[in-house]
A and B are shown apart, each in its own frame.
Chain A
Amino acid sequence: MSLREKFAWIALVTLLFGIGGYVVVVTLGYQRILGHRQLLWIVTGLVAAIVVLPSAIRAVLTTRMPRGALTEQDERERLFELKATRIAFFVLAIGLVVSTPFIMHARGGRLEVIHCLAAAIVLSYLVKFGVEIRYHRRGY
Chain B
Amino acid sequence: MDEITNNIRRLRFDNDEMTQQQLADRIGVTRQTVNAIELGKYSPSLEVAFRIAAVFSVPIDQVFQFRGLSPKGTVPKSK
Partner of B32, one of A72, A75, A139: A139
Verify A75–B44 contact, CB threshold 8 A. yes
Pick from B28, B29, B30, B42 the residue with the most CB of A within 10 Å.
B30
Chain A interface residues (CB < 8 Å from chain B)? 2-4, 68, 71-72, 74-77, 136, 139-140
| Chain B residues with CB below 8 A from A3, complex form | 30
Partner of A139, one of B28, B29, B41, B44: B41
Verify A75–B48 contact, CB threshold 8 A. yes
Partner of A74, one of B29, B35, B39: B29
Give A71 to B23 CA distance when docked, in angstroms: 13
Give A136 to B42 CA distance when docked, in angstroms: 12
| Chain B residues with CB below 8 A from A77, complex form | 30, 33
Give A136 to B44 CA distance when docked, in angstroms: 16
Partner of B42, one of A2, A72, A140: A140
Chain B: which residue is nearest A136 at the CB level?
Answer: B32
Pick from A3, A71, A74, A136 the residue with the most CB of B within 10 Å.
A74
Chain B interface residues (CB < 8 Å from chain A)? 24-25, 28-33, 35-36, 39, 41-42, 44-45, 48
Verify B30–A140 contact, CB threshold 8 A. no
Give A140 to B41 CA distance when docked, in angstroms: 6
Verify B41–A71 contact, CB threshold 8 A. no
A2-B32 in contact given A139-B42, A140-B41 (Cβ < 8 Å): yes
| Chain B residues with CB below 8 A from A74, complex form | 28-30, 33
Other contacts beyond A74-B30, A139-B39, A140-B36: 20, CB < 8 A: A2-B30, A2-B32, A4-B30, A68-B30, A71-B28, A71-B30, A74-B29, A75-B33, A76-B29, A76-B30, A76-B32, A76-B33, A76-B36, A76-B42, A77-B30, A77-B33, A139-B41, A139-B42, A140-B41, A140-B42
Give A77 to B36 CA distance when docked, in angstroms: 11
